């Protein structure tokens, strides 16, 4: 009988885990730079938390079951409901705005394909207690800076931004009623895709006239900046009037421009996002070629905390997955080599040197260095090869002649140069060599 990992689940061998750690470290550095504090929650939650709060798409992908106490439970498919619940419970005691981040592993029963697995890790950054447009700009800037931190430039990715409040105003200006709006939103989301016909039928069934949405689908959807939106909008009196009002999205875009991040941003009214709880700004981050699925998605959800029975506080945030991001980094040659597993290999010239190898190796480890030595007697050449394979930069070679002088030999494995070093200064000597050489 042989066993393999389940479809859509990954094994992380050390080199894969090193890459994951590299991504997580960048996530943490940037989140901390923005003043976000790390939290975590339970990986298993009551099923209702998701059936009530996530969108239909996620609900259809739940890993849910009845536990031994007859509770309906689910592995977490996303972090936002847990986050909202945790913050709602504690919000009164927390200084606003609340800035929290987490790196949960999430589970969705999806059809496995490129960039889509059944488990993934997701950086979640959420900001609670600030309704204004600068909060939206803040989390979008954070997402952009994570990408920059990992070595990606604006030639390689874009954040596409829209706003459900703005869409709502545009729908109204186009004569679309409240009952028709959800279907009109679907038409926008699915435009150019196979599911479009279904959305259009639902819209017609709700009494909608397809011609009324066309201005949005064909004209406004082409705008990628606020000023081009105004130019396109000028062709329709009602739309022009609606756009002349104040819109938080406009201020969010201006704030990102002021930060110097304008090159990374595109207005894109076709960004709708499937999750049920978004109420304002919505955004997704893509590679420029759009050969991959979204790397990050988020938005404003001002009603979720109140609906979870807690305080009524506005919130905005995003989730950035490790799978698509990892693919992009690999494609662009930005996957770093796995770090060396040790700094120093300690080698014995004869079996009699072994107690001295153990003593020196232990002293070097106490001195904070990564050290390995052969666990059984071996030819010196083989011991040094082990050092090479581990990425060690130094070899400490201990033999009877040097020992008689109270010394050991320190070798640079890259260029094979060596110096005799007094045993009692060995630790300091190796430490300084390794720091000097970076
Ligand atoms: P989401 O769009 O469902 O949003 O997921 C965010 C990101 O997680 C996606 O853009 C994608 O990179 C990654 N992702 C999602 N599902 C998978 C999967 N099956 N395999 C690999 N990667 C995946 C949310 O989850 C929201 N809760 C984000 C949020 C936080 N909104 C506000 N705060």
Give phi and psi for 168, each to the nearest 5.
-60, -45
CA 388 – ligand 1 centroid, Å: 41
* pLDDT tens per residue across span 39-74: 999 999 999 999 887 667 788 899 999 999 999 999
pLDDT of residue 391: 95
Q: What is the DSSP letter of 92?
A: G
Q: Hey, what are 171's tokens?
A: 């729908």
Q: What is the DSSP letter of 72?
A: E
Instruction: Find out whether the beta carbon of 326 lies less than 6 Å from any atom of ligand 1.
Output: no
Give all strands (DSSP E) within 166-276, no chain letters: 265-267
Give me the CATH code for the 344-436 domain, please.
3.40.50.800
Nearest-CA residue for atom 25 of ligand 1: 78
pLDDT > 70: what percent of the chain? 99
CA 319 – ligand 1 centroid, Å: 5
Instruction: Find out whether the beta carbon of 343 lies less than 6 Å from any atom of ligand 1.
Output: no
CA 121 – ligand 1 centroid, Å: 9
* pLDDT tens per residue across span 220-236: 999 999 999 999 999 99
Give phi and psi for 125, each to the nearest 5.
-125, 125
> Where do the structural domains in the chain lie, given as residue ranges?
14-174+236-331, 344-436
Say if strands 344-348 and 315-321 run parallel, antiparallel, or are unpaired: unpaired
Instruction: Find out whether the beta carbon of 83 lies less than 6 Å from any atom of ligand 1.
Output: no
Instruction: Find out whether the beta carbon of 54 lies less than 6 Å from any atom of ligand 1.
Output: no
In the numeric block, the tokens 């300690």 are attached to: 346
CA 396 – ligand 1 centroid, Å: 49
Cβ contact 284:271 at 8 Å: yes
pLDDT of residue 438: 53
Measured between alpha carbons, how far is 286 from 126 in angstroms, rounded to an integer? 20
CA 100 – ligand 1 centroid, Å: 17
Measured between alpha carbons, how far is 160 from 264 in angstroms, rounded to an integer? 9
pLDDT of residue 107: 98
In the numeric block, the tokens 């504090």 are attached to: 37
pLDDT of residue 53: 73
* pLDDT tens per residue across span 191-212: 888 889 999 999 999 999 999 8
pLDDT of residue 437: 57
Say if strands 394-398 and 344-348 run parallel, antiparallel, or are unpaired: parallel
Q: Which of 297, 299, 322 to mutate to test the pocket of ligand 1 (most atoms within 8 A of CB)?
A: 297
Q: Which of 85, 127, 319 to mutate to test the pocket of ligand 1 (most atoms within 8 A of CB)?
A: 319
Superfamily for 14-174+236-331?
Answer: Bira Bifunctional Protein; Domain 2 (3.30.930.10)
pTM beyond 0.75: the answer is yes
Instruction: Find out whether the beta carbon of 116 lies less than 6 Å from any atom of ligand 1.
Output: yes
Instruction: Find out whether the beta carbon of 411 lies less than 6 Å from any atom of ligand 1.
Output: no
Which residues fall within 8 angstroms of residue 268, CB to CB, at 6 or more apart? Answer: 160, 161, 162, 221, 224
Measured between alpha carbons, how far is 284 from 296 in angstroms, rounded to an integer? 5
CA 177 – ligand 1 centroid, Å: 31
pLDDT of residue 344: 98
Cβ contact 185:272 at 8 Å: yes
């Amino acid at each position: 009988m042989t066993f393999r990992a389940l479809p859509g689940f990954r094994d992380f061998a050390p080199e894969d885990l090193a890459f994951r750690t590299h991504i997580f470290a960048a996530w943490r550095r940037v989140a901390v730079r923005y003043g976000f504090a790390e939290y975590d929650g339970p990986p298993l939650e009551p099923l209702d938390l998701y059936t009530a709060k996530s969108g239909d798409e996620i609900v259809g992908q739940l890993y849910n079951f009845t536990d031994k106490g007859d509770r309906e439970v689910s592995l977490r498919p996303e972090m936002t409901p847990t986050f909202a619940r945790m913050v709602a419970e504690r919000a009164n005691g927390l200084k606003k705005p609340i800035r929290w981040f987490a790196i949960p592993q999430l589970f969705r029963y999806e059809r496995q394909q490129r960039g889509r697995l059944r488990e993934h890790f997701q950086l979640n950054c959420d900001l609670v207690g600030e309704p204004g447009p600068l909060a939206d700009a803040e989390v979008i800037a954070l997402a952009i800076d994570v990408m920059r931190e990992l070595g990606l430039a604006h030639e390689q990715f874009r954040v596409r931004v829209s706003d459900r409040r703005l869409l709502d105003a545009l729908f109204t200006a186009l004569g679309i009623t409240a009952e028709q709006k959800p279907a009109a939103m679907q038409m926008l989301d699915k435009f150019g895709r196979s599911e479009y016909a279904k959305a259009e039928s639902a819209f017609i069934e709700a009494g909608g006239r397809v011609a009324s949405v066309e201005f949005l689908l064909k004209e406004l959807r082409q705008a990628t900046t606020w000023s081009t939106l105004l130019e396109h909008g000028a062709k329709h009196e009602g739309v022009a009037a609606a756009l002349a009002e104040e819109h938080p999205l406009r201020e969010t875009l201006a704030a990102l421009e002021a930060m110097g991040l304008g090159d990374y941003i595109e207005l894109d009214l076709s960004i709708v996002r499937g999750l049920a709880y978004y109420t304002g700004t919505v955004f997704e981050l893509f590679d420029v070629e759009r050969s991959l699925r979204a790397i990050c998605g988020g938005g404003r959800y001002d009603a979720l905390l109140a609906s979870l029975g807690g305080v009524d506080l506005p919130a905005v945030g995003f989730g950035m997955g490790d799978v698509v991001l990892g693919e992009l980094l690999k494609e662009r040659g930005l996957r770093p080599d796995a770090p060396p597993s040790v700094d120093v290999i300690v080698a014995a010239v004869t079996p009699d040197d072994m107690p001295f190898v153990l003593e020196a190796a232990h002293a070097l480890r106490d001195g904070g260095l990564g050290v390995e030595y052969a666990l059984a007697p071996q030819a010196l050449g083989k011991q040094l090869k082990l050092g090479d394979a581990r990425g060690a930069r130094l070899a400490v070679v201990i033999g009877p002649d040097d020992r008689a002088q109270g010394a050991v030999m320190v070798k640079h494995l890259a260029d094979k140069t060596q110096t005799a070093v007094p045993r009692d200064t060995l630790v300091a000597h190796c430490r300084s060599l390794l720091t000097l050489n970076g």
